[in-house]
Amino acid sequence: MNKNKNVAQILIEVLQQAGVKNCYGIIGDTLNFVGKAIEKSDINWIHTRHEETAAFAAGAEALIADRLTACAGSCGPGSLHLINGLYEAQRNGAPVIAIASQLNSEFLGTGFPQEVNFLKLYQNASIFCQEVNDPAQAQRIFTQAAQAALNKRGVAVVILPSNISQMEVKANPASRVWAPQPVLRPNEHELTQLHQLIDQGKKITIYAGIGSRDAHDEVVVLAEKLKAPVVHTSRASDSIGYANPYQIGMTGMFGNKAGYDAVKECDTLLLLGCGFAWSDFYPEQATIIQIDHDGTQLGLRHPIELGLIGDVKATLQALLPQLSTRDERAFLDKHLASYQKVQEKSKSYLHPKDDQPIHPQYLIQLLDQHASPEALFTADVGSPMVWALRHLSMNGQRRILISLKHGTMANAMPQALGLQQAFPERQVVSISGDGGLAMLMGDLLTAHQENLPIKIVVLNNSSLNFVELEQKSEGLVECFVDLKNGDFKTIAEGAGFYAQTISKASDLETGIKNLLAHSGPALLNVITSPNELVVPPNVTMENVTNMAWYGTQAIFQGKGKDIISMIKDNL
């Protein structure tokens, strides 16, 4: 029988049918009927302490579990707080549905207390943003929203006035959410062009981005056939940067010399699902071929010789049988040897002394050794992301999530909450900055309340360190970057965590083992060196001069000790 339901119940039925398992948020006034509908459904409600955390967590689950995930807020400031987390999800292409509950529709447009125009606000943070103005629209809008999030990959915002959420309406049981998985690849003529252009290359480098994430094996076979080094973007670390004898890591600010040189020195660059943004790192002369599932990306970052639309996996599957295997491997071997040196150098951090501050590199290398082979990592924007990208090793099961496109602080701990909720059986580790953790620290309580046994490693350098180093490399003496943190151990213990502080390198390994072995939420507060230089692979003369200029100014300003400690820490 076709029973009448209220609009809130219809929303939740549509979401359940579209695969939603969890909804993160904070309840309140205009959201109450939606809350009741969730309570009666199979969808879990995860009670965060800040709506931004809710959106970060939903985005992390949506991306890594690859399923539609919901977050919700009350009217006005409640749903307004979602915005930064929604930007993060949108930029990551994570299928998230945000339920922005709204004042009763009769008050809209009158400047009523708590009124916020979500239609205007969320236009830029979403691929779909609609308000429900009549109960008869509701089911269609909810279905469209879910379908948009899943098929266009991004955030769909449904604005739901409170009075409408309570109204009864007849549901159409035949309505459903569609999310098929088509295969996309270039046509035969384009494949021939691709093949011919590749054949002309003598020194080919493959640059694989997030669009190659399901094409790991095809990329390896391509590299084997072409004897081409494989460089990957930071976002493709966990999907491409493992089990690949041709891999040489990354270029760009977080990259290494081998990755940098291989891209700069090639005569043919194959961009596979790769929209790397910084044009300085592209080669000046090479023939650039780009394959992307989204035609709007072609030639966006750098002029290209050939641009093709296709999924990387399907395109390579069609291309590979046409390519013969090359023998010439001088170009490949040169860059593999250079990468080998980079890796050996990074092992030098493994024997620290107790009278020196703890290098973040050493911390991440130990974490890498002791974390589970299936661990899910998140890392905060700031220096944590750099050390995590450089020193965590991936294996096809591990995943790493960082705010690499939106670039927001405070992403790591909230994203870890979402991953732990989505994958209760897996180890989830947040690599947090002291600045990043403090920003949404109230949500430590969410781990406690929702029984989410996340592990947090804090790189506690008493500084907004990434910015401090930016300032120094611009020749400035640092300003406004000091952090007076209080005691993260006590704060975390107060929030129901097991916590420890480590300030000596010799205590670190045991500290990490204890952290990872703890069954509940746990935090390791590690006092790390604030003077560790995040050196890009191509340090320019300008950077060096600026650092020297900083040194001179700093000595004049009585900061000579800082210079000496920076030099010592980087020896």
Ligand X SMILES: Cc1ncc(C[n+]2csc(CCOP(=O)(O)OP(=O)(O)O)c2C)c(N)n1
Q: Which residues bind to ligand X, rule: CB under 6 A?
A: 380-384, 407-409, 433-436, 459, 461, 463-467
Please list the residues that pair with 292 across neighbouring strands: 309
Does residue 461 interact with Mg ion by CB under 5 A?
yes
Does residue 275 interact with Mg ion by CB under 5 A?
no
Residue 436 interacting entry, from ligand X, Mg ion, none, C-beta within 5 to 8 Å by type: ligand X
Does residue 74 interact with Mg ion by CB under 5 A?
no
User: How buried is residue 351: exposed, middle or buried, by Cβ count under 10 Å (0-12/13-18/19+)?
Assistant: exposed
Of 77 and 407, CB closest to ligand X: 407
At its nearest, how many Å lie between ligand X and the CB of residue 472? 13
Does residue 433 interact with Mg ion by CB under 5 A?
yes
Does residue 465 interact with Mg ion by CB under 5 A?
yes
Does residue 365 interact with Mg ion by CB under 5 A?
no
Residue 384 interacting entry, from ligand X, Mg ion, none, C-beta within 5 to 8 Å by type: ligand X
Does residue 79 interact with Mg ion by CB under 5 A?
no
Of 74 and 461, CB closest to ligand X: 461
Contacts with 138 (C-beta within 8 Å, 6 or more apart), sequence order: 7, 10, 11, 132, 164, 169
Of 239 and 415, CB closest to ligand X: 415
At its nearest, how many Å lie between Mg ion and the CB of residue 457? 13
At its nearest, how many Å lie between Mg ion and the CB of residue 249? 25
Does residue 434 interact with Mg ion by CB under 5 A?
yes
Of 142 and 362, CB closest to ligand X: 362
Contacts with 296 (C-beta within 8 Å, 6 or more apart), sequence order: none
Of 528, 503, 522, 509, residue with least CA distance to 361: 528
At its nearest, how many Å lie between ligand X and the CB of residue 379? 10
The answer to whether 258 and 249 are in contact (CB under 8 A) is yes
Query: Which residue's CB comes closest to ligand X?
Result: 433
Of 190 and 380, CB closest to ligand X: 380
Number of residues that bind Mg ion (CB under 5 A): 6
Radius of gyration, alpha carbons of the chain: 25
**CA-CA distance, 63 to 182, in Å (whole number)?**
19
At its nearest, how many Å lie between ligand X and the CB of residue 467? 5
**CA-CA distance, 389 to 200, in Å (whole number)?**
34
At its nearest, how many Å lie between Mg ion and the CB of residue 412? 12
At its nearest, how many Å lie between Mg ion and the CB of residue 387? 12
At its nearest, how many Å lie between Mg ion and the CB of residue 491? 16
Specify the stretch interacting with Mg ion by CB under 5 A; choose among 316-324, 366-374, 445-453, 464-472.
464-472
Give the Å distances, CA to CA, from 180 to 142, 150, 494, 528: 18, 9, 47, 48
The answer to whether 407 and 379 are in contact (CB under 8 A) is no
Of 212 and 378, CB closest to Mg ion: 378
**CA-CA distance, 418 to 428, in Å (whole number)?**
10
Token pair for 60 = 């992390």
Report the side by side order of strands in the sheet with 287-292: 230-232, 204-208, 268-272, 287-292, 306-309
The answer to whether 97 and 125 are in contact (CB under 8 A) is no
Of 143 and 471, CB closest to Mg ion: 471
- The widest CA-to-CA distance across the chain, in whole angstroms, is 83
Of 277 and 320, CB closest to ligand X: 277
Helix (H) or strand (E) run with residue 555 in it: helix 541-556
Does residue 525 interact with Mg ion by CB under 5 A?
no
User: Which residues contact Mg ion by CB under 5 A?
Assistant: 433-435, 461, 463, 465
